[in-house]
């Protein structure tokens, strides 16, 4: 390594970046097009563009809040640059007659087109420097280092790699993947971080596909290797072999308000076999919305306590913890099984009492969120862990919880994200899998209707008659408040409009920025029938089970993904009557239109997942960062399904022929040691 390479690595170390791989595999979130200017007169609402203009005025206004308004023109029209957060020096730098380049998203305001808080540069000279010749990557701010600084560091790293002054090892077995690998690792990284000149945002997906696939294949292999390593280490550790007493289990099952479906019984038999072994269970339980995963969690907890053990149930939100606590009390109290909760609403005395019980080894079920893995929580008899919606927890959090037991506890990981079977088998190569693929008998499918925005007022007018029959309504919006780029109603806007249109109805509102105690109070009021309509963000996607709430309105449905829409729809129709899901949509892309059509035609989550494969196609460059419970940087479970078919054989070949490359590959993409996978 050259001196310049060593100096560069020292710079990364000072910034808290672990090395060149840590830097280069921090991939862009998106790209911005600053390669061409757009005439102001050609701007349209929602368009993100670069304009080049002359400053006409810059002044502070109070309409109604204090703001800096800069008016610019380019001969084709006028544009307002609006700043709500600014300083006096900024105002002084915007001088009339100066030239300016501004990059932002256009919205149509009262005074014409405007950019809110655009990125801009002011020039005193008449001649402006040339525009960028390639798209601008945008990165996540990390460790105090902003996107622009990361972009400069990446550019320097790529230049040093091209000169041979830094080294980056290609870890893929090219002889086995020659038909799939069409570029070197360096070539792929250069194209992803700095797309070549002349690529438009419209052509980006197609032009970058081979380079994106090169990195996606490597990332998928890293995850698969990690899971196989975890599995091999897992079966060498010891756990608590639990005895399942058939009489007590039969009495518990008989006391439930319904009989288990054949799919639930099949999944339970698979879980029970694992619990009886001295090897810790590591099982993924897949089940569609409303399929009855929670009862299998309760069965696991019941058996654990019957063996004088402690069972921890970890959920991602307090809403879901409180929902589970209510259900577990209802099912387990009659059998003398203690149920405890750790949550933010406990007083100091209540929390201390729960901690003392847990620390004494009391056989019980305890439910919580992050509170379960805090340092003062002791589980001397922790025998099983049930994790609901596993992908919402960080790896370190799950590991901290698993480390609280004297032996390795059994783990049941539940997810309602439907994953087609072939993809699940390829992806989760290190986990045993159970699948609930039928709904409880008597469940009436939710009727789904799609409505254009123009019919919103018609729907609002129907709400009083709906609520007079005793029904309750969820009204879900994609955002908390209005922004310059958002579509669909914001929660606060919808709440105000509904309150004005339906003054006789009782309304509540919840979103993620509210205090958790206040959110829970409002949800409990809704559950008790004290509210007619609950206006919320997608925070209610999991954890709110209210049988009387049989109407789900999703305002701005075109902005949500297919599986998220399906999850939200699953919040209604959970009682004895059928539910209604009403999808209000704005301007539709072909993909959004196809998503809504799928939801209208089917309620089967696994069918929906299969259709999602077809609809999404190549999709966006990155797709979702969370796919099927695992967090990816560039790979996408659905879009990269062809690559997934290569994974099992390639993993085996690498372990046999290139074992020295496995650990560095995992380190490159997961950034952790293999112990993390045991959580």
| Residue 613 reports pLDDT greater than 80 | no
Half-sphere exposure of 370 (CA within 13 A, CB side): 7
**Is residue 556 included in any domain, yes or no?**
yes
* Residue that is last in its domain, among 103, 123, 143: 123
Residues 263 and 406 in one domain: yes
**Is residue 210 included in any domain, yes or no?**
no
Residues 301 and 421 in one domain: yes
The 10s digit of each residue's pLDDT in 131-169 is: 988 888 988 887 778 888 999 999 999 999 998 888 888
| pLDDT value of position 487 | 52
* Residue that is last in its domain, among 123, 144, 170: 123
> In terms of DSSP H, where are the helices of 553-589?
562-569
Kindly report which listed range (50-59, 363-372, 382-391, 548-557) carries the lowest average pLDDT score.
382-391
CB 293 within 8 A of CB 262: no
User: Which range marks the domain in which residue 531 is found?
Assistant: 447-602
What's 258's domain CATH number? 3.40.50.300
Residues 504 and 406 in one domain: no
**Is residue 12 included in any domain, yes or no?**
no
Residues 266 and 333 in one domain: yes
Q: How far apart are the first and last CA of the chain?
A: 37
- For residue 457, give Cα distances in angstroms to 450, 465, 497: 14, 14, 10
* Residue that is last in its domain, among 73, 95, 123: 123
Cα torsion through 371, 376, 381, 386, rounded to 10 = 10
Mean pLDDT to the nearest integer, 370-393 = 79
What's 103's domain CATH number? 2.40.50.140
| pLDDT value of position 626 | 37
Could you give the CA distance from residue 113 to residue 196 in angstroms, rounded to a whole number?
Answer: 31
The 10s digit of each residue's pLDDT in 420-471 is: 665 666 566 667 888 888 877 767 778 899 999 889 899 999 999 988 888 8
- Tell whether omega for the bond before 64 is within 30 degrees of 0, i.e. cis: yes
CB neighbours of 661 closer than 8 A, spacing ≥ 6? 169, 171, 654
Cα torsion through 349, 354, 359, 365, rounded to 10 = -170
Domains held by the chain: number:
3
* Percentage of residues in the chain having pLDDT higher than 90: 34
**Is residue 129 included in any domain, yes or no?**
no
**Is residue 273 included in any domain, yes or no?**
yes
pTM of the model: 0.68
| Residue 576 reports pLDDT greater than 80 | no
Residues 523 and 474 in one domain: yes
Which H, E and C letters describe 423-453, residue by residue? HHHHHCCCCEEEEECCCCCCCCCCEEEEEEH
Residues 370 and 517 in one domain: no
**Is residue 520 included in any domain, yes or no?**
yes
Residues 414 and 496 in one domain: no
| pLDDT value of position 603 | 82
Half-sphere exposure of 463 (CA within 13 A, CB side): 30
| pLDDT value of position 628 | 36
Residues 510 and 591 in one domain: yes
Kindly report which listed range (327-331, 379-383, 512-516) carries the lowest average pLDDT score.
512-516
Residues 459 and 424 in one domain: no
Residues 416 and 486 in one domain: no
Q: At what angle do helices 204-234 and 662-670 cross, to 10 degrees?
A: 120
Residues 477 and 405 in one domain: no
């Amino acid at each position: 390594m050259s001196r310049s390479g060593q100096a560069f690595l020292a710079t990364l170390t000072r910034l808290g970046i672990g090395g060149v791989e840590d830097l280069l595999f921090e991939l862009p979130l998106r790209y911005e097009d600053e390669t061409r200017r757009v005439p102001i007169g050609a701007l349209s609402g929602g368009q993100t563009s670069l304009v080049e203009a002359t400053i006409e005025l810059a002044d502070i206004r109070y309409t109604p809040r204090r703001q800096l308004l800069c008016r610019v023109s380019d001969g084709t029209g006028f544009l307002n640059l609006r700043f709500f957060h600014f300083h006096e020096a900024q105002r002084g730098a915007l001088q009339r007659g100066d030239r300016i380049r501004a990059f932002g998203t256009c919205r149509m305001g009262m005074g014409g087109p405007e950019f809110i808080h655009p990125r801009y540069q002011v020039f005193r000279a008449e001649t402006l420097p040339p525009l960028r010749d390639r798209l601008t990557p945008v990165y996540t701010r990390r460790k105090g280092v902003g996107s622009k600084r990361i972009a400069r560091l990446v550019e320097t790293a790529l230049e040093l790699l091209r000169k041979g002054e830094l080294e980056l090892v290609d870890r893929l077995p090219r002889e086995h993947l020659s038909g799939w690998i069409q570029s070197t690792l360096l070539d792929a990284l250069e194209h992803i971080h700095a797309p070549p000149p002349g690529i438009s945002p419209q052509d980006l997906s197609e032009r970058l596909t081979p380079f994106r696939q090169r990195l996606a294949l490597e990332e998928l292999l890293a995850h698969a290797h990690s899971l196989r390593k975890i599995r091999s280490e897992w079966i060498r550790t010891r756990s608590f072999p639990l005895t399942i007493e058939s009489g007590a289990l039969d009495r518990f099952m008989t006391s439930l308000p319904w009989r288990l479906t054949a799919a639930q019984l099949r999944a339970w038999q698979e879980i029970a076999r694992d619990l009886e072994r001295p090897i810790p269970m590591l099982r993924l339980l897949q089940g569609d919305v409303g399929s009855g995963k929670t009862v299998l969690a309760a069965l696991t907890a019941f058996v654990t306590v019957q063996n004088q053990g402690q069972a921890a149930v970890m959920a991602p939100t307090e809403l879901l913890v409180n929902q589970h606590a209510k259900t577990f009390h209802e099912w387990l109290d009659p059998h003398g099984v203690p149920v405890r909760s750790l949550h933010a609403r406990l007083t100091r005395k209540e929390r201390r009492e729960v901690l003392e019980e847990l620390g004494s080894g009391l056989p019980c079920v305890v439910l919580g969120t992050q509170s379960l893995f805090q340092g003062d929580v002791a589980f001397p008899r922790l025998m099983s862990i049930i994790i609901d919606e596993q992908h919402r927890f960080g790896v370190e959090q799950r590991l901290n919880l698993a480390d609280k037991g004297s032996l390795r506890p059994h783990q049941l990981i539940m997810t309602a994200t439907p994953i087609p079977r072939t993809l699940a088998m390829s992806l989760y190569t290190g986990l045993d899998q159970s699948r609930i693929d039928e709904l409880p008998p008597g469940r009436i499918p939710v009727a789904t209707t799609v409505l254009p925005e123009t019919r919103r007022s018609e729907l609002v007018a129907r709400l009083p008659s709906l609520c007079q029959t005793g029904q309750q309504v969820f009204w879900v919006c994609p955002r908390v408040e209005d922004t310059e780029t958002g579509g669909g109603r914001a929660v606060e806007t919808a709440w105000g409009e509904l309150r004005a249109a339906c003054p006789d109805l009782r309304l509540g509102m919840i979103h993620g920025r509210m205090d958790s105690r206040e959110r829970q109070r409002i949800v409990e009021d809704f559950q008790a029938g004290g509210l007619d309509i609950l206006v919320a963000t997608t925070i209610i996607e999991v954890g709110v089970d209210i049988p009387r709430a049989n109407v789900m309105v999703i305002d701005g449905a075109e902005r949500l993904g297919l599986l998220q829409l399906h999850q939200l729809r699953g919040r209604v129709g959970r009682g004895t009557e059928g539910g209604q899901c009403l999808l209000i949509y704005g301007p539709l892309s072909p993909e959004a239109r196809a998503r809504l059509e799928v939801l209208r035609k089917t309620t089967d989550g696994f069918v929906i997942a299969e259709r999602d494969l077809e609809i999404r196609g190549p999709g966006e460059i990155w797709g979702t960062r969370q796919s099927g419970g695992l967090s990816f940087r560039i790979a996408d479970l659905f879009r990269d399904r062809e690559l997934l078919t290569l994974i099992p054989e390639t993993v085996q070949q690498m372990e046999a022929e290139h074992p020295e490359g496995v650990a560095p590959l995992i380190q490159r993409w997961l950034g952790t040691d293999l112990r993390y996978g045991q959580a």
